[in-house]
Amino acid sequence: MKAVIQKLIAWLLGLTVLMRYLVIAVAFHVVLLLVLASIKIVAIVPAIVASFTDAALPPPTNLQDVPDDPFAAYRDFDYTGPDLGGGGTGQKGPGGTPTAGNTASILAAEARGETPTVTEVISVMSEAATAITRSSANPGGVGLESMGGLGAGTPGMKGPGGPWLGAGRMGPQRSVNLAKHGGSAATERAVLAALRWLKANQKPDGSWDCVGSNEGGTALALLAFFGHGETVDSAEFGACVQKGLEYVVAKVPEYGGVAGNMYGQGLVTFALAEGFAMSGSPALKTPLERAANFIVTSQKKPKDKAIHVGGWRYSAGEPTSDLSVSGWQIMALKSAANAGVVIPPEALDKAMKYVWAMYGKPGFGYEAPGTGASMTAVGILCAQFLGHGDDERVDGALKWVSEQKMEWETLDGFAMYYLYYGSQAMFQGGEQFWPKWNEQMREMLIKNQNSDGHWEPPPRSTEVPNLGKTPVYATALGALTLETYYRFLPMYEVLKKQKKTGPALPKPPGQ
Query: pLDDT at position 29, please?
Result: 77
Q: How far apart are CA 280 and CA 149, in angstroms?
A: 11
Q: Considering only 172-181, 287-296, 434-443, which range has the smallest mean pLDDT?
A: 172-181
Q: How far apart are CA 96 and CA 445, in angstroms?
A: 22
Residue 145 lies in a domain: no
CA dist 110 to 49, 105, 370, 470, Å?
Answer: 11, 14, 70, 59
- Give yes or no for residue 501 having a pLDDT over 60: no
- Give yes or no for residue 353 having a pLDDT over 90: yes
Query: pLDDT at position 121, please?
Result: 25
Average pLDDT of span 120-129:
31
Average pLDDT of span 403-410:
94
The backbone torsions φ and ψ at residue 349, rounded to the nearest 5 degrees and listed phi first, read -65, -45
Q: How far apart are CA 240 and CA 38, in angstroms?
A: 67
Query: pLDDT at position 497, please?
Result: 56
Tell me the sheet residues that pair with 222.
Answer: none
- Give yes or no for residue 211 having a pLDDT over 90: no
CB neighbours (10 Å) of residue 20?
14
Query: pLDDT at position 23, please?
Result: 73
Residue 378, classed as helix, strand or coil, is helix
Query: pLDDT at position 37, please?
Result: 66
- Give yes or no for residue 108 having a pLDDT over 60: no
449, 190 contact by CB (below 8 A): yes
- Give yes or no for residue 64 having a pLDDT over 50: no
Residue 359, classed as helix, strand or coil, is strand
Query: pLDDT at position 442, please?
Result: 97
**pLDDT tens readout for residues 266-285:** 999 999 999 999 888 999 99
The DSSP output letter for 48 is P
The DSSP output letter for 66 is -
**What residue type is assigned to position 70 of the chain?**
P
- 362-370 CB contacts, 8 Å cutoff, 24+ apart: 362/393, 362/396, 362/397, 362/399, 362/400, 363/397, 363/400, 363/401, 364/323, 364/397, 365/323, 366/322, 366/323, 366/324, 367/320, 367/321, 367/322, 367/323, 368/307
Query: pLDDT at position 313, please?
Result: 96
Q: Considering only 183-197, 297-311, 483-497, which range has the smallest mean pLDDT?
A: 483-497
Residue 93 lies in a domain: no
Query: pLDDT at position 73, please?
Result: 40
Cβ burial of 304 (10 Å; 0-12, 13-18, 19+) is exposed
Q: For the chain, how many structural domains are there in total?
A: 1
Query: pLDDT at position 422, please?
Result: 98
**pLDDT tens readout for residues 447-480:** 999 999 999 999 999 886 666 566 999 999 999 9
Q: Considering only 395-399, 456-460, 495-499, which range has the smallest mean pLDDT?
A: 495-499
Ranked by mean pLDDT, the top range of 78-87, 232-241, 458-467 is 232-241
Residue 160, classed as helix, strand or coil, is coil
- Give yes or no for residue 102 having a pLDDT over 80: no
CB neighbours (10 Å) of residue 431?
9
**pLDDT tens readout for residues 298-316:** 999 999 999 999 999 999 9
- Give yes or no for residue 85 having a pLDDT over 60: no
Query: pLDDT at position 347, please?
Result: 98
509, 338 contact by CB (below 8 A): yes
Q: How far apart are CA 447 and CA 8, in angstroms?
A: 105
- In terms of pLDDT, which residue wins out, 429 or 65? 429
Residue 97 lies in a domain: no
Residue 5 lies in a domain: no
Percent of the chain with pLDDT over 90: 56
Q: What is the mean pLDDT of the chain?
A: 77
Query: pLDDT at position 492, please?
Result: 63
Percent of the chain with pLDDT over 70: 67
Residue 104 lies in a domain: no
Residue 66 lies in a domain: no
Q: 233: number of CA atoms within 13 Å, CB side? A: 27
Residue 243 lies in a domain: yes
Q: Considering only 34-38, 216-220, 478-482, which range has the smallest mean pLDDT?
A: 34-38
Q: How far apart are CA 373 and CA 386, in angstroms?
A: 20
Query: pLDDT at position 212, please?
Result: 67
Query: pLDDT at position 296, please?
Result: 98
Q: What phi-psi label fits residue 472: left (phi over 0), alpha (psi between -120 and 50 degrees) or beta?
A: alpha
CB neighbours (10 Å) of residue 157?
18
Q: Which domain holds residue 174?
A: 162-501
Cβ burial of 428 (10 Å; 0-12, 13-18, 19+) is buried
The H or E element that residue 242 is part of is helix 238-250
Residue 305 lies in a domain: yes
Query: pLDDT at position 19, please?
Result: 76
Query: pLDDT at position 496, please?
Result: 56
b/e per residue, 484-506, with b = 16+ CB within 10 A?
Answer: bbbbbbbbebbeeeeeeeeeeee
Indicate which CATH number applies to the domain containing 384.
1.50.10.20
| Helices and strands (H and E) in the chain: how many | 20, 2
Could you tell me which of 383, 270, 262 has the C-alpha nearest to residue 325?
A: 262
